[in-house]
Structure 1
Amino acid sequence: MVEHMKWWGWGQEGVSFHHEDKPGLAPFVLERVDLDLHGPGAPVPDFAKFSVPPSQAPGPLREALVAAVGAGHVVDDDLDRVVHAYGKSLRDLVRIRRGDFGRVPDLVVYPGTEQEVEAVLRAALDADAVVIPFGGGSNISGSLEAPRAETRPVLSVDMGRMNALLEVDETSQVARIQAGALGPHLEAQLNGRGWTLGHFPDSFKHSTLGGWIATRSSGMQSDRFGDIADITRAVRVVTPKGVVATRNVPSQSTGPSVREMVLGSEGRLGIITEATVQVHRIAEERVILAYFFPDYGSGLRAMHDIAASDASPSITRVSDANETAFTFATSKKSSGLSAMLSRGVKLYAQKRKGMDLSQMCLSFIGFEGSAAHVKRSRTLVGEIVAKHGGFCVGAGPGKLYDQKKFDTPYIRDFILDRGAIGDVSETSSTWATLETVHDNVVAAANRAFDQIGVKGFIFCHLSHSYHMGACQYFTFAYVASGRRDELEEYDIVKGAIQQAFIDNGATLSHHHAVGREHSRWWEQDVSPAGAAIVRTLLDGVDPGRNLNPGSITG
C-alpha cells in the first residue's frame, strides 16, 4: 500500500495543470516564450509500448532478500522497477517519456523494520549489489538513478512501509518518526496529538522525512521552524559498519558531527531508518499577508531589515518583477469585488505610491504563534515594509497562495507535453550579494537562451531568510528549438545558471541537493581539499561503492 507518483510525471494520477480558468496565462506565455497553450499536448505515454530491460537479480540474492523481508515485499514488476529508476528532474521526465529508462533496478525491496533494513543491506553487500534508498521519488537532482554502465545487481530500497510516528516527548518537544513517512501522513499523525513539524517543501505531498534529511531539505516556513538540518536532532542509519545512532541532545562537543555527516549524504553512507525531530505545538493563530514593493531591490532590502528586526515571521517571500507578472497571469478570472480590488490595488500602486507596474513586486509574509506575537510581528513588519515603499493588500492573496503552494510542479509536465522546457535552480548567498547574484544569473540565462536561439523567460523569488543572507529560487522556461537534442539545449541553459551561482559567490544548491545533476560544480563549491575529505569519508564507509555510487561526487 505504499504510495507512488505517476511513472511518467509529477504527482497523483488524474491530477494535472490546466489553464482554461486563467484567461491571462495563454497570451502571457505566447508573448514571453512563443508557446501556444491552446495547442494539443502529447498524449500520456503508453507503458505497454515500451521495452523494459529484464531483471538481472541472481537467484541467491533474491532468496536472501525474501528471507529478510518476505516474498510479498521483494518486487520485480516492470512498472514498479521503472517508477524507482529515476526521480522527477527535468532530465528524468524527458528520458522517461522517450522510454529511455537507464539502468533499471533489478528488484525493489520494501523493508518494514530497521532489522529488516540491516538484513537487506547485509544481503546486498554479500552479493556485491548496488543499493539506492528510495523515499517518495520526488528528487530533482539525479540522486536516485544507478550508473548506466553498472553491471552489478541494483536494488531500490523503498522505505514507504516504515512510516510511523513512534513517540512524542512532549516535555522535550521532539518526536521519533520513521524515515519513510510522507509529509502529509507525518503531519496528520503529529496534528492528531496537537503538534506540527513545520516542514513544508514544494514536494511535501510526495516526499519523506528520510528524503528530506538525505538532501538537506528546506520548507516554506523555514524562517520560523528552520531547515531540516535544524529540525533533525538525532538519526538512526543502517550502514556497512553497523547502525549509526546519534544522541538526542540539544548540542554537543564530541568532534566532527556524525549527525551532520548524515544530513545531505544522499544514501552514500547508508539507509536512514528513523529520526528524532523538533516539533511545535500547533499555533494559536496563522496568517499570510500579501504586500507590494516598488521593485525587487526594495523587496530584498525590506527582507533584510525584517530578518534583522525583532519580528519573527514564518514566511518571507518576495518575487521579482518577472515572477510577479507570471503570478498575475496565472490568476483565475475575477468578477465583482475581487476584480474591483485588483483594479484598485493597481490604481493605488500607480497613482498614490508612484510605482511602475512593470517593476512592481509581490511579497508574501507569514505570521504564526500566539495572537499577541502575531500582532506585534505584523506591526513591526508593516513599519519596515512602509519604510521601503511597500504596502499591504491583506490576507486574501495569502490564503490563495497557501491553498495552491504544492501545485506548481504540475505546470512543468503541462508545458513539457507541448514542447517546452521548464525547470528550477536555487541558491543562497549573503544579503550583500543577493541583488548582484540575481542580476548576473538572469543575464547568464538570457545569454544561454540567445546561444541556443530561443525566446526564454526566467524569474525568481527570495524564499527563505537567514541572519546573514537568503535563498533565491529561479524558474526558467523556453520552447525547445528542435535544432539540437532537447537535453543538450537544457544543459546549456541549466549549466549557465549553475555556473553563475558559483562565479558570484553563491552555492550550487540551497535545498535540492547535489546528486548527479549538480556534481560537476560540487568541488568548486566545497573546495578541492573539502572534496577530498568527503571522498575519504565515503570510501572509508563504503569501499566497494555499493551505496548509491555516483551521487554527490560523480
Structure 2
Amino acid sequence: MTTQSHKNTVPHMKWWGWGVEGVAFNHRDKPNFRPFVLDQVGVDVDVPGTPPPAFEEIDVPAPRIGEELLAELAEAVGEENVYTEDFDRVVHTYGKGLPDLIKVRAGHLPRAVDVVVYPGNESDVQAVLDAVVAADAVLIPFGGGSNISGSLTPPESEERPVVSLDLGRMNRVLEIDETAGLARIQAGVLGPDMEEQLTARGWTMGHQPDSFRHSTLGGWIATRSSGMQSDKYGDIADITRGLRAVQPGRMLVLRPLPSTSTGPSVREMILGSEGRLGVITEAWVQVHRLPENREIIAYLYPSWAAALAAMQEISTSDASPSVTRVSDDRETAFSFSTQKAKKGLKSTVQKGLFDLLERRGWDMDAVCLSYVGYEGGSARVKAEKAIVGKIVRRHGGIKLGSGPGELYDQKKFDTPYIRDYLLDIGAVADVSETATPWSNLLDIYNGTVRAAKDAYAALGVRGYIMCHLSHSYHSGACLYFTFAFPPATEKWEEQIEQYWKVKSAIQQSFVDLKGTISHHHGVGTEHAHWIEEDISEAGVETMVALLRGVDPSRNLNPGKVIPTHREW
C-alpha cells in the first residue's frame, strides 16, 4: 500500500504548539509585560528565545503496522483517507499539555501512532474499530487534538499497532428539532464550524471552552467539558441528551430524552470516558435561539474574599448570568500586564479611576477583576444587570463597564498562545482546575497557592501561581489555577521532572482539601494517579469492571482514566 500525502481538508494545529501557523503572542505592544515577567519569575522576555525545531530535525520512528491491517483500514475508509507519513503521525501522537509540548519539541517519540485514519461516516468507524479489535491493535479517537491531560498519547510500552481515528471529516449539523430545541450533530465538528452552521438557522449551543476554536463536540463529550457560558447553558453533561457510539461489533444508541429512570445512566458512563467505551460518532444536544442581546460587563473588587462572596450571592440571586468569572489579585495583575498601551483619554481615565480608588483606601495590588455576561431580551438584561450591580456594590465592588468586557470577549480564546511564547523563552506554564463547595472555596485556594509556593521553594526557582473562578453552581464553583516558572535546568527530561513536582503539589492539594482532581479537563494520564483519592477504591473498581466489560482486550485507548497498575 502506498503512503498518502496529507491532502484532505481537515484542519490541525501546529505540530509543536497551540493554534494555527502565523498566530502567536507578541509582547512588543504591551509595555507592562516585560517588567512584570522579569519581576515575578526573573525571565527577561527581550532575550531571544529558542524557537521550536524544524520538523525535518525530528527523528520519527518507523510505523509498526503490517500490510494486512493497513489494507483493511484502506478498504474501510478508502486508501486516500489512510496516512502513514511522519508529519501526520506526529500531529496525532501528542495533545497540547505542557509535557506533550516539551517532548515533541525535543523530538522524544518513543511510541508514535502508526497510522492515521479519517472515516467519513459511522459505517466507516464501525469497520475501522472492528478491524482494529480483530487484529488486536489499539484505537485512539482524535478530535481537535487540544487535550492537555495526556488522553491522546499511546503508552510507551505499547507493542501493538496504534491507529489514530481522526473524526474531522464527520463535521456536520445533521438536523434540528426546533420544537424540542435539540440538534443532531456529528462528533468531529470543530466549535466554530458547528456554531456557524447553527447560527445560519438561528440557533446556538452556547458551549465555549477555552479550546473552542480547536476542539470538537466528540472531544467535549469524551472529557466532560465545560464552557465559559456554562452558568446559563450548562456543562456538556447537561447539554448532551442523546448520542451514538461505536463499540466492538455493535452500536450504542441513546435517544435524546429529557430525563429517564432506567437504572444507572449509560449516558453518564459515556460522558468522560475518553474513548475507552467506544467512539462517539454523533450526539443530540440542547440548542437555544440566538439571544436578542449579549453583553459582558467588567467589575472590580477590592479583595479576593469580597469577590468570592459576591459570586456566591450572584449564584443564588434572581439573576441568571451566562458568565460569572473573577480573577484573584495575581491574575488581575497579569491581565493588566498584557494590556496594549493606552493613549489619550483612555489612559487618563484609567489612571484617574485608579488614583481615586487609592484615595478611597483601596489597595491596588489586591484588586480583583471580574466579568459577568448577560443574554436575552432588553428588559431581562436590564433587570439582571441591576440585580448584579447591587450585589457588586454590597461587596465593595465597582462597575468598569462594557469596554473591558468586549475586549475580554474578543481575546478569550487567545491565552493558550502565551504558553508557547513562554516555553520559547525558557519558562514552563500550565493549568490545573478543581471544584469544591462554596464553604470550602477560600481554604482550597489558600492551600493550593501555599502548596505551589512550597514546591517552587523546594526546587529553588521563582514561580508564579494565579487563579480565577470560572464556573458557578448552586453548591460551589470551579477554581482554575495557572502556574509558571523557569526550570532550573536546560535538559528537557529534568524540566518535566520539575514541572511534575509543581503539578503534583497542586493536584495533591486538591484532594487533600476536599476538591476534585479535574473539573473539566478530564483524567487522561496526567490526573489518573489521584483518581482513587477522588472517587474511592470502590469507585475505581467499579470503573475497571465497566471498562473491562466493554473492552476486555484493552484495544480502546488503553492507559487512560485509571492508573496503569489498575489495568487488567
Same fold (TM over 0.5): yes
Q: Counterpart in 1 of 2:385?
A: 378
Report the alpha carbon displacement of residue 240 of structure 1 after superposing the two structures with TM: 1.6
Does 1:230 find its partner at 2:214? no
Q: Counterpart in 2 of 1:553?
A: 562
Report the alpha carbon displacement of residue 347 of structure 1 after superposing the two structures with TM: 2.0
Q: Counterpart in 1 of 2:138?
A: 130
Q: Distance in 2 between matches of 1:295 and 1:43?
A: 39
The AA in structure 2 aligned to 1:126 is: A
Q: Distance in 1 between matches of 2:22 and 2:333?
A: 29
Does 1:71 find its partner at 2:79? yes
Q: Counterpart in 2 of 1:493?
A: 502
Alignment partner for residue 508 of structure 1, among 497, 517, 523? 517
Instruction: Give 3-state SS (helix, strand or coil) of 1:434's partner.
Output: helix
Does 1:429 find its partner at 2:429? no
Matches within 5 A, 1:7-406: 7-240=15-248, 242-352=250-360, 354-406=361-413
The AA in structure 2 aligned to 1:537 is: L
Judge conservation of contact 1:234–1:248 (CA < 8 Å) in 2.
yes
Q: Distance in 2 between matches of 1:499 and 1:233?
A: 33
Q: Counterpart in 2 of 1:530?
A: 539
1:368-396, Cα deviation, whole Å (9 max, x unpaired): 11111111100000000010000101000
Judge conservation of contact 2:126–2:249 (CA < 8 Å) in 1.
no
1:474-530, Cα deviation, whole Å (9 max, x unpaired): 001111111871011001000000000000000000000000011000111010001
Instruction: Give 3-state SS (helix, strand or coil) of 1:272's partner.
Output: strand
Instruction: Give 3-state SS (helix, strand or coil) of 2:189's partner.
Output: coil
Judge conservation of contact 2:245–2:252 (CA < 8 Å) in 1.
yes
CA RMSD of aligned residues (A): 0.8
Matches within 5 A, 1:407-422: 407-422=414-429
Instruction: Give 3-state SS (helix, strand or coil) of 1:350's partner.
Output: helix
1:80-133, Cα deviation, whole Å (9 max, x unpaired): 000000100000000001000231111100000001100001110110010000
Instruction: Give 3-state SS (helix, strand or coil) of 2:209's partner.
Output: coil
The AA in structure 2 aligned to 1:376 is: A
Q: Counterpart in 2 of 1:458?
A: 465
Q: Distance in 1 between matches of 2:433 and 2:325?
A: 14
Q: Distance in 1 between matches of 2:345 and 2:383?
A: 30
Judge conservation of contact 2:204–2:290 (CA < 8 Å) in 1.
yes
Instruction: Give 3-state SS (helix, strand or coil) of 1:255's partner.
Output: coil
Report the alpha carbon displacement of residue 403 of structure 1 after superposing the two structures with TM: 0.4
The AA in structure 2 aligned to 1:548 is: N
Instruction: Give 3-state SS (helix, strand or coil) of 2:468's partner.
Output: strand
The AA in structure 2 aligned to 1:498 is: Q
The AA in structure 2 aligned to 1:46 is: A
Q: Distance in 1 between matches of 2:78 and 2:255?
A: 32
The AA in structure 1 aligned to 2:498 is: E
Judge conservation of contact 1:345–1:393 (CA < 8 Å) in 2.
no
Q: Distance in 2 between matches of 1:377 and 1:176?
A: 32
The AA in structure 1 aligned to 2:524 is: G
Q: Distance in 1 between matches of 2:178 and 2:21?
A: 38
The AA in structure 2 aligned to 1:468 is: S
Bigger shift: residues 342-351 or 281-290 = 342-351
The AA in structure 2 aligned to 1:432 is: S
Instruction: Give 3-state SS (helix, strand or coil) of 1:348's partner.
Output: helix
The AA in structure 1 aligned to 2:102 is: V
Q: Distance in 1 between matches of 2:178 and 2:349?
A: 45
Q: Distance in 1 between matches of 2:399 and 2:262?
A: 48
The AA in structure 2 aligned to 1:99 is: G
1:385-443, Cα deviation, whole Å (9 max, x unpaired): 01000010100000000000000000000010111011100000000011111110000
Bigger shift: residues 424-433 or 479-488 = 479-488
Q: Percent identity, aligned pairs only?
A: 57
Instruction: Give 3-state SS (helix, strand or coil) of 2:294's partner.
Output: strand
Report the alpha carbon displacement of residue 247 of structure 1 after superposing the two structures with TM: 1.4
Judge conservation of contact 1:241–1:541 (CA < 8 Å) in 2.
no
Report the alpha carbon displacement of residue 348 of structure 1 after superposing the two structures with TM: 2.8
Q: Counterpart in 2 of 1:539?
A: 548
Instruction: Give 3-state SS (helix, strand or coil) of 1:438's partner.
Output: helix
Aligned length: 553
Q: Which runs of 5+ in 2 are unaligned?
A: 1-8, 564-568
The AA in structure 1 aligned to 2:302 is: P
Report the alpha carbon displacement of residue 351 of structure 1 after superposing the two structures with TM: 2.1
Q: Distance in 2 between matches of 1:163 and 1:466?
A: 31
Does 1:519 find its partner at 2:528? yes
Q: Distance in 1 between matches of 2:548 and 2:151?
A: 18
Question: TM (normalized to structure 1)?
Answer: 0.99
Report the alpha carbon displacement of residue 345 of structure 1 after superposing the two structures with TM: 2.1
Q: Counterpart in 1 of 2:485?
A: 478
Q: Distance in 1 between matches of 2:382 and 2:356?
A: 25
Q: Distance in 2 between matches of 1:143 and 1:339?
A: 45
Q: Counterpart in 2 of 1:442?
A: 449
Report the alpha carbon displacement of residue 210 of structure 1 after superposing the two structures with TM: 0.1
The AA in structure 1 aligned to 2:40 is: R
Q: Distance in 2 between matches of 1:470 and 1:420?
A: 29
Q: Distance in 2 between matches of 1:553 and 1:349?
A: 50
Instruction: Give 3-state SS (helix, strand or coil) of 2:243's partner.
Output: strand
Q: Distance in 2 between matches of 1:74 and 1:326?
A: 45
Report the alpha carbon displacement of residue 79 of structure 1 after superposing the two structures with TM: 0.2
Q: Which runs of 5+ in 1 are unaligned?
A: none
Instruction: Give 3-state SS (helix, strand or coil) of 2:244's partner.
Output: strand
Report the alpha carbon displacement of residue 43 of structure 1 after superposing the two structures with TM: 2.5
Q: Distance in 2 between matches of 1:341 and 1:425?
A: 36
Instruction: Give 3-state SS (helix, strand or coil) of 1:180's partner.
Output: coil
The AA in structure 2 aligned to 1:262 is: I
Judge conservation of contact 1:308–1:467 (CA < 8 Å) in 2.
yes
Q: Distance in 2 between matches of 1:136 and 1:360?
A: 36
Q: Distance in 1 between matches of 2:366 and 2:427?
A: 26
The AA in structure 1 aligned to 2:495 is: E
Q: Distance in 2 between matches of 1:102 and 1:239?
A: 28
Judge conservation of contact 2:130–2:249 (CA < 8 Å) in 1.
no
Judge conservation of contact 1:449–1:456 (CA < 8 Å) in 2.
yes
Report the alpha carbon displacement of residue 51 of structure 1 after superposing the two structures with TM: 1.4
Does 1:3 find its partner at 2:3? no
Q: Distance in 1 between matches of 2:439 and 2:110?
A: 43
Q: Distance in 2 between matches of 1:477 and 1:552?
A: 26
